Amino acid sequence: MKSKIQFILSMIIFGTIGLVVRYIDLSSSERALLSSLIGCLFLTLIFIIMKKKISWNLVKSNALILFLSGIALGGNWVFLYQSYDYTTIANATLGYYFAPVFVMLLSPFILKEQLSFKKIICIIIAIMGLVLIVGEGVSASNTNDILGLSYGLIAAAFYAALLLLNKFIKGMGKLELTIIQLGITSLLLMPYVFSTSGFGIFEVSSSSIPFIVILGVVNTGIGFWLFFSGMERLKGQSIAMLSYVDPFVAILISAIILQEQMTAIQMLGGALLLASTFVSEIKITQIYKTRINNTN
């Protein structure tokens, strides 16, 4: 029961990311840099308290994949945060949850896994759901919604790449892997942020500072800590089912707290998308087992 509570809490925390990001007066790349840097420092502190050590030999042997996965993680967050800026949290979240479909489509080519009839049906249903969400946005001539959903899909593509890359990382523990990837992401984003935004990141409004701390410490650090602690003793199917607490919380926040509107057709599309990925995950939980980047 303790493991389930920890995992559910981590999903609730992840589901609030969109709300927290809305109150940070920075670009998506600056938010991604701060969340990865603060999260890395927080998890490193936890790692030290737990008296664990990073195996630098394993880091060296996995260096190329770790570097590529750092790029994927950074792209994932930059485009996800950008998505929140242009559309509702519900739309951004639904676009982001297209990631399992990308994984299923790429798995036969990258992981040499067979694409079963069931997975093909799930992919078709997910695409139908996405078409309903996008089509409704087009009919309403809402350019921002379409752009925001597109950013969400790009974030999903980066997330799918991250999951697939992590399948090739061998021997590293999940917490250790996350610390390294967050650190690499921070290092990769620093030159980009400082070359595009200069040092404006240090001129952030005082009202944004508490939310930056929440994003880095709570949503990234504590969220992943609870996630690892809970996932360790849960079965794969339990992880797959409980993972849907995340989009459920995000959609509730979108509708109740922010009062963002979603049409009946978009709700149907969202239901089809989430249902298809849920059904597919019952059998492929090893692939889409983690929230961010820790499938081994």
pLDDT digits (tens, 9 = 90+) for 153-170: 999 999 999 989 988 988
Say if 164 falls within a structural domain. yes
In angstroms, the CA 80 to CA 75 distance is: 8
The CA dihedral of 122, 127, 128, 131, to the nearest 10 degrees, is 160
Predicted confidence (pLDDT) per residue in 205-243, tens digit: 889 999 999 999 999 999 988 887 887 777 766 776 778
pTM recorded for the entire structure: 0.85
Mean per-residue pLDDT for 140-157?
A: 83
Say if 287 falls within a structural domain. no
pLDDT at 281 over 70: no
Say if 270 falls within a structural domain. yes
Mean per-residue pLDDT for 173-177?
A: 87
Radius of gyration of the chain measured on its C-alpha atoms = 18
Say if 144 falls within a structural domain. yes
Say if 73 falls within a structural domain. yes
Say if 82 falls within a structural domain. yes
Say if 272 falls within a structural domain. yes
**Residues spanned by the domain of 148:** 2-281
- Phi-psi map region of 53: left, alpha, beta (phi>0 left; psi -120 to 50 alpha): beta
In angstroms, the CA 154 to CA 290 distance is: 19
DSSP strands (E only) in the chain? none
In angstroms, the CA 196 to CA 122 distance is: 41
* Structure tokens given for 193: 């942020």
Say if 24 falls within a structural domain. yes
- As for how many domains the chain has, the answer is 1
Amino acid at residue number 254: S
